[in-house]
């Protein structure tokens, strides 16, 4: 029987329930926390995360996917501490997050020195997926990488190829941060298809940042899962526009290609938290249940279609890639 790895162990796909497919618990610049400890209060941050996720569980969410990888400050022991205190499934990821160059650790290793040499990233990703992360026993449930406005730089391409290779060895699903305004999903499609990765095993994150429904329809028709996953990030696109895009895609018959989420975090050090809270008051784990789902229902999206996007699609995507 296929099981889905989570922080607390493997679970039956049927137990995933209502799932937010792209949320972060912590996004950190680890060097800063290690060298300037006044910036970080471990006990306070863990307690705050527990409170936020407990509230989320109270809204009826059973599972979150946390695609925090190298480059975003992943530290699984801290996530384990949080999850010990919250009855929530947390699926974590492996991969590398960059828009341009690979991290310096990989810069002069593997194919960077000789194109015929294997990339060490692949074995690291596979180990995270099959054995566990950093001795914790927690296995990653998916692969995560990124492409943004900078496009298919040599570093981005190298990570994408390593992710594709790890997918082919394990079957793990793939999430790619994309920039739909510059239609980067088409570049992802070309590269991953060339490696033999099926589109239905790939989620194109942040597709909801665009109102170009024709472009998104093209990706959905190709078989990709589209992350309508930044609800509340109003500086990129207002909620009303994000909702209208989902409504139109559902009307066109693509409910089975959509997942919903916020891409929010309990704590992200990229922006001063006080500024973030003031500028983005709706960028939190509650926004979909408080605002988005009622608005979708008012505009004709049925309960069955919401279940498809929030239960069935995540379950199929995560279970189909379990190693």
Helix (H, G, I), strand (E, B) or coil at 210: coil
Tokens of 222: 């190709």
Residue 252, pLDDT score = 98
What is the full DSSP assignment across 113-165? T-TTSPPHHHHHHHHHHHT-STTS-PPP-EEEEE--TT-S-HHHHHHHHHHHH
Instruction: Report whether pLDDT(321) > 90.
Output: no
Please say whether the dihedral angle defined by the alpha carbons of residues 57, 63, 69 and 71, taken in this order, is positive or negative.
negative
pLDDT, residue 323, reads 35
pLDDT value of residue 275: 86
The whole-number pLDDT of residue 322 equals 38
State the burial class of residue 36 (Cβ atoms within 10 Å of its Cβ: 0-12, 13-18, 19+).
Answer: exposed
pLDDT digits (tens, 9 = 90+) for 275-312: 888 899 999 999 999 999 999 999 999 999 999 999 99
Q: Which CATH architecture describes the domain 4-320?
A: Alpha-Beta Barrel (3.20)
Determine the average pLDDT of the residues in 162-170.
98
The predicted model gives 49-58 an average pLDDT of 98
DSSP state of 90: E
Identify the pLDDT of residue 274: 83
What mean pLDDT do residues 79-85 have?
98
Percent of the chain with pLDDT over 90: 94
C-beta of residue 256 within 8 angstroms of C-beta of residue 314: no
d(CA 56, CA 162): 34
Say if residues 49 and 25 touch (Cβ distance below 8 Å). yes
Q: Write the pLDDT tens digit of every residue in 259-275.
A: 999 999 999 999 888 88
Task: Tell me the DSSP string of 271-292.
Answer: S-HHHHHHH-TT-STTHIIIII
Type and span of the H or E element at 314:
helix 313-320
Q: Detail the DSSP E strand segments found in the chain.
A: 4-6, 9-11, 19-20, 24-27, 63-66, 89-95, 142-146, 174-177, 202-205, 225-228, 258-260, 265-268
Tell me how long the chain is: 323
The domains of the chain are located at: 4-320
Q: Which residue has the higher pLDDT, 194 or 278?
A: 194
Segment 113-130, tens digit of pLDDT: 999 999 999 999 999 999
Q: For residues 323 and 4, give the distance between their C-alpha atoms in angstroms, rounded to a whole number.
A: 8
pLDDT 10s digits, 197-232: 999 999 999 999 999 999 999 999 999 999 999 999
């Amino acid at each position: 029987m296929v099981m889905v790895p989570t922080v607390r162990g493997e679970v039956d796909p049927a137990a995933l329930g209502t799932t937010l497919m792209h949320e972060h618990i912590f996004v950190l610049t680890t060097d800063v926390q290690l060298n300037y400890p006044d910036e970080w209060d471990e006990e306070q941050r863990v307690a705050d995360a527990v409170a936020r996720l407990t509230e989320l569980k109270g809204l009826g969410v059973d599972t979150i996917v946390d695609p925090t990888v190298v480059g975003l400050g992943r530290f699984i022991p801290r996530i384990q501490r949080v999850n010990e205190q919250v009855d929530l499934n947390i699926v974590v990821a492996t991969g590398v997050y960059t828009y341009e160059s690979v991290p310096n650790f990989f810069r002069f290793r593997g194919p960077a020195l000789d194109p015929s040499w294997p990339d060490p990233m692949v074995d690291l990703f596979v180990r995270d997926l099959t054995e566990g992360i950093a001795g914790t026993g927690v296995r990653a449930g998916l692969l995560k990488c990124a492409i943004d406005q900078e496009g298919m730089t040599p570093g981005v391409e190298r990570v994408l190829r390593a992710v594709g290779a790890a997918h082919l060895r394990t079957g793990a699903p793939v999430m790619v941060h994309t920039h739909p305004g510059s239609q980067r999903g088409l570049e992802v499609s070309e590269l991953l298809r060339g490696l033999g990765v099926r589109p239905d095993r790939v989620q194109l994150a942040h597709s909801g940042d665009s109102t170009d429904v024709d472009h998104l329809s093209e990706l959905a028709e190709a078989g990709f899962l589209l992350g309508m996953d930044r609800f509340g990030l109003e500086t990129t696109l207002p909620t009303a526009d994000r909702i209208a895009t989902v409504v139109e895609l559902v009307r066109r018959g693509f409910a089975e290609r959509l997942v919903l989420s916020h891409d929010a975090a309990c704590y992200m050090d990229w922006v001063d938290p006080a500024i973030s809270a003031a500028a983005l008051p709706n960028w939190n784990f509650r926004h979909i249940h408080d605002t988005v789902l009622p608005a979708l229902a008012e505009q004709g999206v049925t309960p069955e279609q919401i279940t498809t996007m929030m239960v069935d699609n995540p379950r199929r995507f995560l279970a189909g890639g379990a190693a």
